[in-house]
Structure 1
Amino acid sequence: MGTKDLTFVQLNQLIGRKTGGISVYPFTSSIRGKEDPCSHIIVRGKSMAGRADDLFNLINCVLQEVQFTDQQRFKQFVSQSKARMENRLRGGGHGIAAARMDAKLNVAGWISEQMGGVSYLEFLQALEEKVDNDWAGISSSLEEIRKSLLSKEGCLVNMTADGKTLSNTGKVVGKFLDLLPSKSLVERASWNVRLPSNNEAIVIPTQVNYVGKAANLYNRGYQLSGSAYVISKHISNTWLWDRVRVSGGAYGGFCNFDTHSGVFTFLSYRDPNLLKTLDIYDGTGDFLRELKMDDDTLTKAIIGTIGDVDAYQLPDAKGYSSLVRYLLGITEEERQRRREEILSTR
């Protein structure tokens, strides 16, 4: 979609010439210890120090000046998004399964599934047909959504740069904030909704399966410790690797523990089995109860876990990670405590 003065192509070319790219996407996550999720629209961009003014002007252009009038361009966006989701369903079904299970267990998962899971695909399929029949209604809805999302109230700016650049761009950031509406036109709402908590099978045109199983450990009284990172890493690298991938013939078998929501998830990738894989997941408890690890194996598991927790990041990734930690209320003291718990795992 273009603006009053720029076509869609011209706007994208301008962004490419003056910045390192601009992206807009939703961010939703559970917050440990809280029922309400953290939900934001995140706008990310990067540029050379001397182009900071251009970067913020273009971000404002993308957010406030784009016109929802090009019906064919919008339909193209919808069709492309639908095709990507259909390809993801066939080639990345483990991610779809994880999102679906998460939506049954917490509100943040439900929101994310609505914007990136099977529910989103169903929405896109309906929207593609609606574009031809009710474009005026869709255009009006898009404008209403923009007015409800954008406001200076609650806006948070996170910049990563050297001290001189940060000092020089203060006025630029202030100008950007002044251009935003003072407050949203809609009241903030709280949601308490999940998908029905029942077993589910989604039929897709492939000869392999993506098998998942999940549960919320916090609801069962578990208190978070850094050792959980080590344990989940070891389960993926030994039990699931040997049973699901090597013996079972799947391309991958792994588990993940979301420490924000407490959801522990088992997943397999391009798996020829179904019930057999679920039996392996169910056998994980016995595997852990009977587990005997020598010091060398435990040390390798700890080193691998620390490598994931403190992975190398470029400056932009460091800045983004600090923003996410701020939004989720994760302090440096807590991070250090988790490191110590990981290193002291026995």
Structure 2
Amino acid sequence: MSQVQFMNALSQKEDLNEVSQKLKDIARLAIKRSNLRLAVTCGDDQVSRNEGIVGKFISHLDSSPSIGDIAQTHFTPSYRNSFFPLPYGINFTAQCLRGVPYTHEDGSKLQILASLMSNLYLHREIREKNGAYGGGAGYSSTGGVFSFYSYRDPSPQKTLSTYKDSVRWALDRTDFTDQELAEAKLSLFQRMDTPVSAAEEGMVLFTEGITDEMRQKRREQLLAVSSADVKDVASRYLLDKESSHCILGDQE
């Protein structure tokens, strides 16, 4: 949304010389051979031809070394609440919390927790009781972010409270049954092992650095998750932790 607002502001400028110069500065700093990684998808019979085309393209790029200090900016997480007024009679909400890197053993537990929360609690509370079109929780295994969401939601404030209540619900349950855990794991495996197109093969390794060995270890970790594991990560990562909230919708 901030990018849309930024582009709208740019479109209203009459003099674009400043914008043009900034784009040139970005290109000068970023588009260098030393900054470049390429993935090419093609048949065996096209490899040599494509290597020639790519090589010709690279030969025209700046060959000077990267400026290391620009790329080595220290990242500090920030937590903020955002509201975007839009002319809707319904709302869209989200809450995000910090998780763990892909290789961390707690990542699989947070994935299972998100699935259990969605299917056993959030769907009922957000859709069936609050009247939203849908809602739930998810965990980005590559991004390491635990998120709650609702869409076309007539009661956004109540939904934000429901997100908080869902953590306490998970902790107060005596135990999750073997069947509940098995169904949560099956739903995750279904997404993990879905067939991919030729263009997507190898792209998880290329873009995220996740190898087949790491993916296999994640499968084994998912299979091993227990009810006690789920409660443990709910307490350590979600209960009374800092988070960011966002609502899109009606000004009132």
Shorter-chain TM-score: which interval? 0.7 to 0.9
Give the Cα separation in 2 of the matches to 1:252 and 1:202. Answer: 20
Shift of 1:239: 1.2
Matched, 1:313 2:202: no
Shift in Å, 1:193 = 6.2
Does structure 1 retain, via aligned residues, the 8 Å contact 2:105–2:221? Answer: no
Contact 1:159 1:319 in 2 (8 A): no
Q: Which runs of 5+ in 1 are unaligned?
A: 1-116
Corresponding residue for residue 323 of structure 1: 206
Q: CA deviation at 1:268?
A: 0.8
SS at match of 2:138: strand
Q: What is the CA–CA distance in structure 2 between the aligned matches of 1:257 and 1:164, rounded to whole Å?
A: 40
Is structure 2 residue 215 aligned with structure 1 residue 332? Answer: no
Residue 246 (structure 1) aligns with? 128
* Cα 1:137/1:198, change in 2 over 3 Å: closer
**TM-score, structure 2 length as denominator?**
0.76
Q: Residue 302 in 1 paired to residue 171 in 2?
A: no
Shift of 1:278: 1.6
* 2:87 equivalent to 1:235: no
How far apart, CA to CA, are the structure 2 residues paired with 1:311 and 1:143? 41
Two-structure CA RMSD over aligned residues (Å) = 2.7
Say which of 22, 31, 37 aligns to 1:141: 22
Higher relative contact order (CA 8 A, sep 6+): 2
Question: What percent of counterpart residues are identical?
Answer: 25
**What does residue 63 of structure 1 align with?**
none
Q: CA offset at residue 256 of structure 1?
A: 2.1
Given the superposition, is the C-alpha separation of residues 193 and 293 from structure 1 closer, same or farther in structure 2, using an over 3 Å criterion? closer
Instruction: In structure 2, list runs of 5 or more residues that go unmatched.
Output: 227-252
Aligned residue in 1 for 2:60: 179
1:277 matched to which residue of 2?
Answer: 159
Amino acid at match of 1:155: L
Distance 1:344 1:261 in 2: 22
Native 8 Å contact 1:148 1:184 kept in 2: no
Shift of 1:286: 2.5
Distance in structure 2 (CA, Å) of the matches to 1:223 and 1:196:
24
Describe how 1:37-52 pairs up with structure 2 within 5 A: none
Higher strand share: 2
Q: Which residue of 2 aligns with 1:51?
A: none
> Could you give the per-residue CA deviations for residues 114-157 of structure 1, whole angstroms, max 9, x where no partner exists?
xxx32x23322321222x1x233333332332222211113112
Q: Aligned pair 1:127/2:10, yes or no?
A: yes
Q: Distance in 2 between matches of 1:212 and 1:184?
A: 41
Output the CA distance in 2 between the equivalents of 1:199 and 1:136.
Answer: 34
Alignment of 1:42-81 (within 5 A): none
Give, in whole Å, the separation in 2 of the partners of 1:172 and 1:217: 41
Q: CA deviation at 1:184?
A: 6.4
